Structure 1
Amino acid sequence: MGSVRNLLWAAGRKRLMAVCVLLLSAIVLAGLCAPFLAPHDPEFVDLTNKLADPSTEFPLGTDQLGRCVLSRLLYGTQVSLSLALLIVGSCLLIGLVIGCLAGYAGGKTDSLVMRCCDAILAIPSLILAISLIAIWGAGWKQMAIALVVVQSVYYARFIRGLVSNLRQQTYIIAARVSGTSPFRLITRHIIPNLLPSLLTVVTLEIGWVIMDISALSFIGLGVQSPTPEWGAMINEGKSFIRSHPRLILTPGFVIFCVVALLNLLGEMLGEKKGMVKSFRKGGAR
């Protein structure tokens, strides 16, 4: 009975994973094909059609400036996802360099790097990002740099722990004794063994970064108008929450769906969930 139950659970899990991948692929494809799918220019202002209800011409209506909401959502998918991938990719690269250096070297180097990470982790990441953007000025570039600076330490600390464990494995010790250089040892033996765990973490963190981007854009520190972005669209529509709630519900629903799908997929990809949870609890977020 238990084996049958496990088989049904595994089959259901595979189907759910396939659905998540399919829906995420559809969203990404819609963003990539935005120039062909969008019925209007997302930045075109037409005050004669402001706050128009959904129609055949404007399937999701228009905003307070007469811009097509559907077009802005489609182009906003490009902006939000590309920024999230850029930030997560940069954090991963920096985290790999720092984490591998600290985890493999050990000793004083490891202690120094980790104390620097602890100092940054002592401050909630979003608060620190807001402080940096306040110094550098608002804009998507400043936002991206600030998020990379404050979130790279999560990756560095997580990867350092993995590398420290792998360094004690028999095949790593044998390769080191045989005269393999540290660079070759890290690139050929250590990093390939990190990929399954990193894939899970990256999938989960893309959702977190999308929420951070939306939050910073919502308060006016991220993507600036008239560039379409989900958080900025919520900010622009908050004044009409009573009369036209669709202006904030539509982009909010898209954010919810994307983040939920990414979290579901990440949880299902993670075979070692304790490691993922340790990453998420590595500091105040």
Structure 2
Amino acid sequence: MEGLRRLGWGIRRHRLISLCIVLLSMIVLSGLFAPQLAPNDPNFVDLIHKLEGPSTQFPLGTDQLGRCLFSRLLYGTRISLSLALLIVTSCLAVGLVIGSAAGYIGGKIDSLIMRICDAILAIPSLILAISLIAVWGAGWKQMAIALIIVQSVYYARFIRGMVRNIKQQNYVTAARIAGTSPLRMMTRHIIPNLLPPLFIVVTLEIGWVIMDISALSFIGLGVQSPTPEWGAMINDGKSLLRSHPRLMIVPGLMIFCMVALLNLLGEFLGERKGFTKSIRKMAKEARGS
């Protein structure tokens, strides 16, 4: 409770972070309640009203098919954030199992797992994801699986490094001498100490995953049109960049704002907990750079 009070006081003291949390909450809530907030059907084609400017009926205007840009943006928020959370949560679960096993057991198992991770990390993540999607076919499911495979390796290496550090702490050594079983050691002493820095890493990584999803959807390998998603919306408007730039600018600004806000929040939490330098160092090592 004392830690939560200190964190709350720090947030109130930093107006920028308070504003960041408010804006993030607004974006998340707008996606969550998109069906209630959207003034129009996001996929309804109305060529009579195509490429109209902002109005009462269409707050941000319409696209080349007469679809409400504001409604598509709200539903795009819902889809982009849902996919990002699904991918990050899955990566965290896979990375936690693999990384904890490698870091705690060590020896040949650790070496084997790390060599496999090194081989995967040797290929740029987005290129590897594109290659996997090219084999499986385009679609949001294939994109999600490809990104989970690619990103889980990073989480595994990162968690493995943290587990190796925690294993060297005196309280872990004392628990081992006392005869604590490996399973109890993980659940009582190691995993609880992984959670605070992992929460910060996840906050930072969600932004990067959103960018990956948008990039893959933009080139036609992720979410497919007419499903509203930020990257797909930018792709839909690229042919009209000169005459109607708002079709690309509006979803592009949403991506920029979401990534910037998540990075600000992650940096703030890292500084409050004193994790910033250590997380950056371990993240760099996990990336193999």
Q: Structure 2: give runs of 5+ residues left out of the alignment.
A: 1-9
What TM-score, normalized by structure 1, do the two folds share?
0.94
2:4 is aligned to none
1:272 is aligned to 275
2:225 is aligned to 225
TM-superposed CA distance for 1:73, in Å, is: 0.2
Deviations 1:196-244 (A, max 9, x none): 1101100000000000000000000000011100000000000000000
1:4 is aligned to none
1:273 maps to a residue whose letter is T
2:200 is aligned to 200
Distance 1:117 1:237 in 2: 38
Alignment of 1:168-179 (within 5 A): 168-179=168-179
- More off after superposition, 165-174 vs 247-256: 165-174
2:3 is aligned to none
1:228 maps to a residue whose letter is P
**Contact 1:75–1:228, Cα closer than 8 Å, also in 2:** yes
Q: Structure 1: give runs of 5+ residues left out of the alignment.
A: 1-9
RMSD: 1.4
2:287 is aligned to 283
1:141 is aligned to 141
TM-superposed CA distance for 1:21, in Å, is: 1.2
TM-superposed CA distance for 1:186, in Å, is: 0.5
Distance 1:284 1:57 in 2: 51
TM-superposed CA distance for 1:15, in Å, is: 2.5
Q: Does 1:79 align with 2:79?
A: yes
TM-superposed CA distance for 1:178, in Å, is: 1.6
Q: Alignment identity in percent?
A: 73
TM-superposed CA distance for 1:284, in Å, is: 6.9
Alignment of 1:234-249 (within 5 A): 234-249=234-249
2:287 maps to a residue whose letter is G
Deviations 1:177-201 (A, max 9, x none): 2221111111111011011110110
Alignment coverage as a number of residue pairs: 276
**Contact 1:122–1:283, Cα closer than 8 Å, also in 2:** no
1:166 is aligned to 166
Distance 2:130 2:279 in 1: 26
Distance 2:59 2:231 in 1: 20
**Contact 1:13–1:268, Cα closer than 8 Å, also in 2:** no
- More off after superposition, 16-25 vs 74-83: 16-25
What TM-score, normalized by structure 2, do the two folds share?
0.92
Judged with a 3 Å threshold, the aligned counterparts in structure 2 of structure 1 residues 11 and 189 are, in CA distance, closer, same or farther, namely closer
1:90 is aligned to 90
1:278 maps to a residue whose letter is K
Distance 1:280 1:103 in 2: 15
Judged with a 3 Å threshold, the aligned counterparts in structure 2 of structure 1 residues 11 and 157 are, in CA distance, closer, same or farther, namely closer
Query: What SS does structure 2 have at the residue aligned with 1:221?
Result: coil
**Contact 1:102–1:113, Cα closer than 8 Å, also in 2:** yes
